[in-house]
Amino acid sequence: MSTGTRFTYDALPGRILFGEGLAGTVLADELDRLGCRRVLAFAGEGERDIADRLLPPLGERVVGVFDGVRMHVPAEVAEAATARARELEVDGLLCIGGGSTTGTAKTVARETGLPILAVPTTYAGSEVTPVWGLTTAARKETGRDLRVLPRTVVYDPQLTWSLPSALAVASGLNAMAHSVEALWTEAANPVTTSLAIESVRALATGLRAIAADEGDRDARTALTYGAYLAGSCFAVAGSGLHHKICHALGGAFDLPHAETHATVLPHVLAFNAPTLGPVAQRLAEAIGCDDAAVGLSHLAREVGAPQRLTDVGMRPDDLDEAVDVIAAKLPIHNPRPVDRGDIASILAAALHGTETC
């Protein structure tokens, strides 16, 4: 770092607890710290088994459970969740689950100002960001608001032990997208870059280990740690071209969030890599390869992640509409100028899984 370096780093408020088995022992105390006596819990269909273990010890403090979680947080789901919170006159929100569950709680917090205690069960990272998302009429809108930032996050790697390998891989690569994009956003700085590189290193290690042994608990811990760092650097550095592409695709075609990120990321990285300078080599080393974009593509293949947008539900006939949806967001801040033709090229490569090398 040179003597003339200048940057701004806005540290976000929040309490983080990390450790195996913590979720079963600290939730009541953490809700007390937040002053929450009447709590609405959030848990999607795939998360109810975990919620059913964690909620009973909280007793009558949990006055309701909202389980109508849907991917990309449709507006009608957000409205129903907010109405439920108001009906029950709750003073706090407890979300147990992945990004969609956390995102649903965030839309309620945005409307009500209620505090969130988040217990992530995937590697989504949403639990440490002030970013909210809402889908209306097949168009996904995102924004930043400190009211939606969870006040406390309990990271318990044990809660990811039952996450199927395919979902763990997709979620881990989703976290990787947070880290990689944090290297080139307008708000990127030496602090977020260091967090991002360490996150990529932990995620790459965990992904390879879990692909070799689905039951590797150390790998699950590494992925949980990497996801926390990824969300933290993304929270400060913000998003850019990659996330705008993925959010647009998810909203327009209802594609699975994590898998879409895993599929698109190598191609956006290949587009931006020439602008990253020495950071590109640091990224490659963290992935464990010589070329970051090629290495990321090979890592995704090595761990069994989807290789093409067609693998996650997008049809070739959707390409023109997808380009239109994303091009409507231009201009998009990016270290390399991007136009409609560039978007079309990136999407075409991601659609068919064209090699990035």
Q: Give 250-303 pLDDT, tens digit per residue.
A: 989 999 988 999 999 999 999 999 999 999 999 999 999 999 999 999 999 999
Same domain, 248 and 317: yes
We report the CATH number of the domain holding residue 63 as 3.40.50.1970
Average pLDDT over residues 135-155: 94
Under DSSP, is residue 302 helix (H, G, I), strand (E, B) or coil?
A: helix
Q: What are phi and psi of 23, to 5 degrees?
A: -60, -30
Beta bridge partners of 93: 40, 116
Q: Mean pLDDT in the chain?
A: 94
Helix axes 75-88, 99-112, angle to 10 degrees: 60
Same domain, 149 and 255: no
Percent of the chain with pLDDT over 70: 98
Q: What is the domain range of residue 113?
A: 15-160
Under DSSP, is residue 119 helix (H, G, I), strand (E, B) or coil?
A: strand
Is the pLDDT score of 357 beyond 50? Answer: no
What total of structural domains would you count in the chain?
A: 2
Judged by average pLDDT, the poorest of 187-191, 202-206, 250-254, 336-340 is 250-254
Helices and strands of the chain, counted as H and E runs: 13, 8
Is the overall model pTM greater than 0.85, yes or no? yes
Q: Which tokens is 262 given?
A: 């895993």
Please say whether the beta carbons of 22 and 75 come within 8 A: no
We report the CATH number of the domain holding residue 314 as 1.20.1090.10
Residue 118 included in any domain: yes
Same domain, 210 and 278: yes
Q: E-assigned strands of the chain?
A: 15-18, 39-42, 62-66, 92-97, 116-120, 131-136, 139-144, 152-155
**Residues 5-16 pLDDT 10s:** 888 888 898 999
Under DSSP, is residue 96 helix (H, G, I), strand (E, B) or coil?
A: strand
